[in-house]
Amino acid sequence: MAIRFFNSLTETKEVFEPAEPDRVRIYSCGPTVYNYNHLGNFRAYVFVDLLRRFLRLRGFGLDHSVNITDVEDKIIENAHRAGLSIEEFTAPYIEAFLEDLRYLKLEEVEHRPRATRSIPAMIELMGRLHQNGHAYQSQGNVYFRLASDPGYGRLSHIEPAALRQAADGRFEADEYSKEDVRDFALWKAPATDYEQRWESPWGPGRPGWHLECSAMIRQIYGAAGVDIHTGGVDLMFPHHENEIAQSCCAYPDDRFVGVWLHNEHLLVEGKKMSKSLGNYFMLRDFMEPERARAIVDQGRAPALILDLLASDRMAGALRYLLIGTHYRQKLNFTFDGLQGAANAIERLQGTIDRLLRIATETAPLEGQGPAPSFVKGAIEEFTAALDDDLNISKALAAVFELNRTLNQALDRNDLGADGVHSGIEAFRMVNQILDVFSFELREVNSDPEHDAIDALVTERNQARANRDFARADEIRNLLRQKGVTLEDTATETLWRRD
């Protein structure tokens, strides 16, 4: 089966063929490091992780770059206010970003170029544009001459003429030096006396954001360009449009990008994330107990998130929730969805545990037979769904169908050793993508929330002893929502899951 991706440039699903048969070159626009990354950013990063893992599952090697934008207006301003150099100011945010990625089990990529370390490549690209008449200098700035690129608008499908209107009234005061309001800055002369600057043939300054990505792609991948360029839909215009303009005008004979993949936004409880709505979350708000406690106390999140953290299920649930919606659909992050994700993992993990126990208890069979056809079928469906523009919802449906059939066979006691082993192998394969399961045999009666539930039961008994019956009832209800039933005996309180 061929792999197909929806190319934003042509707006069609195309058969995917990398320039080299067994290695895929990918470039993804990365973070600007003046703060911690919010939940919406991770939608893009998790999508890219899915893409990587899928391509590897399909036998490709990977050569993937995610840039770090470590020079731009907010960084310059905030670093100055903090009395730090750009490097000092950005270092903790870069470290935090990498830590966040590891928390969600996002794979390390092959290159992480940084803007401040790629200036020579940017100057070289600018030099070519200047030479070809695609760039001009004005008052210490260098601009891309948009009118010199007749293909401009090819990705966002915006007519250059319409752009003039869109740009009117939006250009900044320091950009009156432009020939045309649509032109964008490649190089910016220092606007303050304190900002860090780099030397260039057009005078001291710093690079524009768009230039960065074009230059890094050229520097890392040369004339071959990349097979896949990813980013959020919000980057399509003007950022990616400008990347294409720069790269294609500087190197008209070379390939820049094979296919453009754009992921949709993340919503929180059906609304766009915004600070004024109180639904704006950093990943750290869910990662760190003190931050989680704070958003619960502010009434912005339910106590559920504390339970998930306490029971070590938060990272998996977040990862599952972020990966589980097709990348071209808006992802609605809800706390019910988060609980649902944790439950889904638990349900599948329960089957894995069941299979593992049988596999350990029974001696391995000599000359194991073929996998039952329903297992083979599920694996084929899973891969075929991902082949079709990473249709994760359909792929997950195949996993749940497999789960159901395996459990039915186990209940009837007729799965057989081949079924048990191939079932485990199928889940291992699925986990190469999802990475949320454990294949270590857990205790038979282990409950992932055991400690958290014990703590609640103790708190309830304390509340009763203090005659705080309102709190005691509240806890009983909370536990009931988790499917936990309490039984008070003369000496202790027992609990069980339904």
Q: How far is the CB of 207 from Zn ion (least distance, A)?
A: 12
Task: Give the sheet arrangement for strand 226-232, strand by strand.
Answer: 61-66, 23-28, 226-232, 257-263
Nearer to Zn ion, 235 or 452 (CB): 235
The answer to the question of residue 213 lying near Zn ion (CB under 5 A) is yes
Q: Which stretch binds Zn ion (CB under 5 A): 25-33, 81-89, 117-125, 321-329?
A: 25-33
Shortest distance in whole angstroms from residue 266 CB to Zn ion:
19
Closest to Zn ion by CB, 229 vs 460, is 229
DSSP per-residue codes, 328-393: TS-EEE-HHHHHHHHHHHHHHHHHHHHHHHHHHHSPPPSS--PPPHHHHHHHHHHHHHHHBT--HH
Nearer to Zn ion, 39 or 213 (CB): 213
Binding mask 419-458 for Zn ion (x = CB under 5 A): ----------------------------------------
Closer to Zn ion by Cβ: residue 209 or 382: 209
One-letter identity of residue 161: A
* AA letter at 378: A
CB-neighbour burial class of residue 497 (10 A; exposed 0-12, middle 13-18, buried 19+): exposed
Interface region with Zn ion, contact rule CB under 5 A, candidates 22-30, 73-81, 288-296, 298-306: 22-30
| Backbone dihedral region for residue 413 (phi beyond 0: left; psi -120 to 50: alpha; all else: beta) | left
Q: Which is nearer to Zn ion, 29 or 273 (CB)?
A: 29
Shortest approach of Zn ion to residue 478 CB, angstroms? 45
CB of 314 to Zn ion, least distance (A): 30
Map residue 57 onto helix, strand or coil. helix
Q: Pairing mode, if any, of strands 184-188 and 141-144?
A: antiparallel
Least distance between Zn ion and beta carbon 209 (Å): 7
Within its chain, how far is the Cα of 239 from the centroid?
A: 19
Rounded least distance, CB 30 to Zn ion, Å: 8
Query: Is residue 3 a contact partner of residue 57, using CB atoms and an 8 Å limit?
Result: no
What's the rounded Cα separation, in Å, for the pair 134 and 152?
12
**How many chain residues touch Zn ion (CB under 5 A)?**
2
Contact with Zn ion (CB under 5 A) among 3, 24, 26, 29: 29
Least distance from Zn ion to the Cβ atom of residue 262, Å = 12
Work out how close the CB of 261 gets to Zn ion at its nearest, in angstroms, rounded to a whole number.
13
**Minimum distance of Zn ion from residue 51's CB (angstroms):** 16
Question: Would you say 181 and 164 are in contact if contact means Cβ atoms under 8 Å apart?
Answer: yes
Angle between helix 335-361 and 392-411 (nearest 10): 40
* 3-class state of residue 42 by DSSP: helix
Which CB sits closer to Zn ion, 155 or 314?
155
Does position 226 interact with Zn ion (CB under 5 A)? The reply is: no
Span of 24-32, 155-163, 291-299, 390-398 interacting with Zn ion by CB under 5 A: 24-32
Nearest to 285 by CA among 328, 326, 338, 235: 338
Stretch that binds Zn ion, among 21-29, 149-157, 192-200, 407-415 (CB under 5 A): 21-29
Kindly identify the residues of this chain, within the stretch 123-182, that bind Zn ion according to CB under 5 A.
Answer: none
Stretch touching Zn ion by CB under 5 A, among 23-31, 34-42, 100-108, 268-276: 23-31
Minimum Å distance from CB 497 to Zn ion? 48
| Stretch of 206-214, 289-297, 338-346, 459-467 contacting Zn ion, by CB under 5 A | 206-214
Contact in structure between 257 and 229 (CB atoms under 8 Å): yes
Give the phi and the psi of residue 491 in degrees, each rounded to 5.
-110, -20
Binding window for Zn ion (CB under 5 A); candidates: 188-196, 213-221, 322-330, 342-350: 213-221
Q: 70 — phi, psi (to 5°)?
A: -115, 20
> CB 243 → Zn ion: shortest distance, Å?
6
* Helix (H) and strand (E) counts in the chain: 17, 15
Whichever of 262 and 421 has its CB closer to Zn ion, that residue is 262
Which one, 32 or 403, has the nearer CB to Zn ion?
32
In which residue are the tokens 């159901």 written?
A: 404
Per CB under 5 A, which region of 29-37, 220-228, 288-296, 320-328 contacts Zn ion?
29-37
**Contact positions toward Zn ion, by CB under 5 A?**
29, 213
